[in-house]
């Protein structure tokens, strides 16, 4: 169970009559089962900033990343949808789903998008959908699709380190930020949006949390296999982890656990640098024959400037 307390909304004006009107390109509950990790970079120099002048971008990023927290979600299947009616003018499938490593440049050179689809819309507009799952692409070149048509599924193909859909919007070949159609060198202008209903801007969140019988590693957390719904009372440790995105230097991560007999453990740490995706964990090692049996409740909170941005509460039963 998660709770988001701070989400900022785009206040941009409606698009012009000739502009496309976009719907959400992923079949998931934005802010719950998926989230926006990064936006179009609006800094044309060496730095980066998103359309709110915030840090959810990276240098040269040309689209919007709709991300899943874990590989398990990707494997279960999350559909990618056509954001507007259009003609399929590009298609690729056949690339493996694998986390990109720096030494894999040759394997993805010229194919950084991975498996994907390009749709052409009216008046010189295009949308491109990247990093789709191997074997999931359902449309062919020359096919016309309606808004909401399934194009494929979110995957891990091409140049990517986490499962997500990268969607780019272009007009006459030039990148356009669908959240704000003002000059790309500007931010915070609120000049116009291409969305039917602009998705909320969430500056950071706890995207997953769970209990584990030892200190988990990043690979198992990203895979979605670290958390246990129940554990033996003789487990060597009782650890609560939180998986987060959008961390900024100075943010605080608060971890607290309550057991069947009351408060069990708590810890608060401060980030010493910005981190796009990261985890923190805290718990105790077993010092007796067994833990008290019953239900343990854990909460991970992300705080910025003393305000709670997001929290995630989960439970485990010790038997």
Please report the domains of the chain, with CATH numbers, ordered by start residue.
Answer: 13-175 (2.70.70.10), 205-318 (2.60.40.2550)
Which pLDDT score, from 0 to 100, does residue 186 have?
Answer: 87
Residue with tokens 């000049």: 191
pLDDT given at position 10: 36
CB neighbour burial string for 139-151, b if at least 16 within 10 angstroms, e if fewer = beeeeebeeebeb
pLDDT at 108: 87
Residue 183 CB neighbour total at 10 angstroms: 12
> pLDDT for 118-150, tens place per residue?
999 999 999 999 999 999 999 999 999 999 999
Task: Kindly state the helix (H) or strand (E) to which residue 105 belongs, with its residue range.
Answer: helix 105-108
The predicted structure's pLDDT at residue 1: 55
Rounded Cα gap, residues 257 and 239, in angstroms:
9
**Could you tell me the two tokens for 80?**
């990618």
Burial call 284-307: b when 16+ CB within 10 Å, e when fewer: eeeeeeebeeeebbbbbbbbbeee
| Nearest residue to 24 via CA among 121, 167, 185, 156 | 167
Q: Report d(CA 55, CA 36) in Å as an integer.
A: 13
The predicted pLDDT at position 16 comes to 54
- Tell me which residues of the chain have a pLDDT lower than 70: 1-18, 103-105
């Amino acid at each position: 169970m998660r709770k988001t307390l701070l989400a900022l909304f785009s206040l941009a004006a409606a698009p012009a009559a000739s502009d496309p009107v976009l719907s959400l390109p992923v079949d998931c509950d934005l802010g719950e089962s998926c989230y926006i990790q990064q936006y179009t970079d609006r800094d044309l120099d060496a730095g980066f900033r998103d359309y709110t002048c915030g840090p959810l971008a990276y240098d040269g990023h040309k689209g919007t990343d709709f991300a899943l927290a874990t590989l398990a979600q990707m494997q279960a299947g999350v559909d990618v949808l056509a954001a507007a009616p259009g003609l399929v003018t590009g298609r690729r499938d056949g690339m493996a789903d694998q986390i990109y490593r720096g030494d894999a440049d040759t394997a993805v050179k010229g194919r950084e998008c991975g498996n994907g689809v390009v749709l052409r819309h009216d008046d010189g507009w295009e949308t491109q959908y990247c990093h789709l799952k191997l074997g999931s692409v359902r449309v062919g070149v020359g096919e016309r699709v309606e808004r909401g048509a399934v194009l494929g599924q979110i995957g891990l193909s091409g140049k990517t380190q986490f499962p997500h859909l990268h969607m780019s919007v272009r007009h006459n070949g030039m990148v356009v930020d669908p959240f704000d159609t003002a000059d790309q060198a500007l931010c915070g202008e609120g000049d116009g949006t291409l969305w039917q209903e602009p998705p909320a801007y969430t500056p950071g969140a706890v995207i997953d949390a769970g209990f584990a019988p030892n200190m988990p590693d990043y690979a198992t957390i990203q895979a979605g296999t670290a958390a246990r719904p129940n554990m033996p009372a003789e487990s060597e440790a009782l650890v609560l982890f939180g998986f987060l995105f959008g961390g900024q230097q100075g943010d605080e991560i608060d971890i607290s656990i309550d057991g069947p007999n009351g408060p069990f453990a708590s810890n608060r740490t401060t980030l010493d640098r910005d981190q796009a995706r990261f985890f923190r964990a805290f718990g105790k090692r077993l010092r007796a024959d067994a833990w008290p049996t019953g239900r343990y409740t854990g909460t991970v909170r992300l705080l910025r400037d003393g305000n709670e941005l997001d929290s995630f509460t989960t439970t485990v039963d010790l038997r």
